[in-house]
Structure 1
């Protein structure tokens, strides 16, 4: 039983998620909100029947307080979940240190939780999409997230089981190929949506989607760097305390229990 508790890592994961959320919030505000405003302006310009009913939440509040709340709460939540994944992964996926393990967890999260589902169901600005299908599109996006995460977990398990027979490198390639194949089948058989109007500027759509990718990339890269630094400091400090307090025999910090 390591002297570093899961609770200590969870707290640092949530703190790292909060700080990463601040970085993502800056990117979302300065890079993404201008594209949202341009999309709303196009929507209002083309909707001649729009009578401007009273808004429950003003656009200013959506772009400031609402955006900040959503991004920061999301950052804290996923930071906590990623910290729990880190607790399991450290020492079990190879001889990686805390920083490398944190980077791998963050990279895997970016790939499986966002990038893979995004390639099938990319984000659309407010003026794009049929309101009648928003529920179906949202459900399918989260289904794609679930499939991506579950298949990634299955690939990791398969890779570990194949490693004794194939070697680590070949087992990793085989497991990754299986993941890609199954994700490709999901892309083929799950329904697609092409609801972008011919009059919507392609450049604006492309810039909006790139900005959403930039927000997620900023969040996960920042989390990986911050959480890796925090956990390395914590684990090295714990190792030093163990070395001086238990008969001078150092203990490893490679597993958390």
Structure 2
């Protein structure tokens, strides 16, 4: 059964990746082109020689972007299915759709939103090439803290559920998550390497587009996977008990 869920998750992830690519192509790539134009103008004004282009811009914005998004989305879809197989029936009493939607929301918050609030995505020409290693390391530290905090939050909510009820347990655990994340964001260094004359409007639009790509991906993944699994489970329940495959 887990193998079937994995396959479904990867297929839904592939479909979500296609939609995310369309969003990136329409809303993200124009901002990248504007950032590249700013970078080239800055280099020209400084009398610097343009670096040779290893991969053409049309290839980057077309096949390269499509490949990257599809590989990422398919991988996320597979991992999503595995986590669903482990958490279904254990974390909450929700059905397949509710569990998938809740899992997608949690994944988006922990993997995308929280790290992005501290270290948001930057377009080309923003960021010092000499600090890319340290910036990447800080981003992954924030990512690990976010995922660990969410995992601990779920465990805390489950322990408090019986004593304080679902509503109070969720509030307490959610407050604990916010406190841990706030401390981590305060403790980790802030990075600001935006050029002085860089367009604030362009920076804002790029970051919104980057976040929007993930919103599309996780929304389609949560809703689509939940719908497919619910239909699959409904078919299994119609079979004799001895013919139903086990989830785990």
Residues 1:256 and 2:232 aligned together = no
Find 1:217's aligned residue among 215, 218, 237: 215
Residues 1:35 and 2:31 aligned together = yes
Residue 94 of structure 1, CA deviation = 2.1
Residue 52 of structure 1, CA deviation = 2.8
Moved more, 218-227 or 87-96: 87-96
CA distance in 2: counterparts of 1:182 and 1:233, whole angstroms: 38
CA distance in 1: counterparts of 2:127 and 2:52, whole angstroms: 23
Within-5 A mapping of 1:63-74:
63-74=61-72
Residue 233 of structure 1, CA deviation = 1.2
Within-5 A mapping of 1:54-65:
54-65=52-63
CA distance in 2: counterparts of 1:161 and 1:10, whole angstroms: 29
How many residue pairs end up in the alignment?
246
**TM-score, length basis structure 2:** 0.95
Find 1:124's aligned residue among 107, 122, 126: 122
**TM-score, length basis structure 1:** 0.92
Residues 1:46 and 2:62 aligned together = no
Q: 1:99, 1:225 within 8 Å by CA — same for their partners in 2?
A: yes
The superposition leaves residues 94-133 of structure 1 with CA deviations (integer Å, 9 ceiling, x where unpaired) of 2211111111111111110000000000111111111111
Q: 2:43, 2:50 within 8 Å by CA — same for their partners in 1?
A: no
CA distance in 2: counterparts of 1:237 and 1:70, whole angstroms: 35
Corresponding residue SS for 1:86:
helix
Residues 1:8 and 2:4 aligned together = yes
Residue 170 of structure 1, CA deviation = 1.1
1:195 is matched with which residue?
193
Residue 222 of structure 1, CA deviation = 0.8
Moved more, 68-77 or 55-64: 55-64
Q: 2:153, 2:176 within 8 Å by CA — same for their partners in 1?
A: yes
Structure 2 portions without partners, runs of 5+: none
1:150 is matched with which residue?
148
CA distance in 1: counterparts of 2:240 and 2:229, whole angstroms: 16
Q: 1:163, 1:171 within 8 Å by CA — same for their partners in 2?
A: yes
Q: Which runs of 4+ in 1 moved over 6 A?
A: none
Q: 1:44, 1:50 within 8 Å by CA — same for their partners in 2?
A: no
Q: 2:40, 2:50 within 8 Å by CA — same for their partners in 1?
A: no
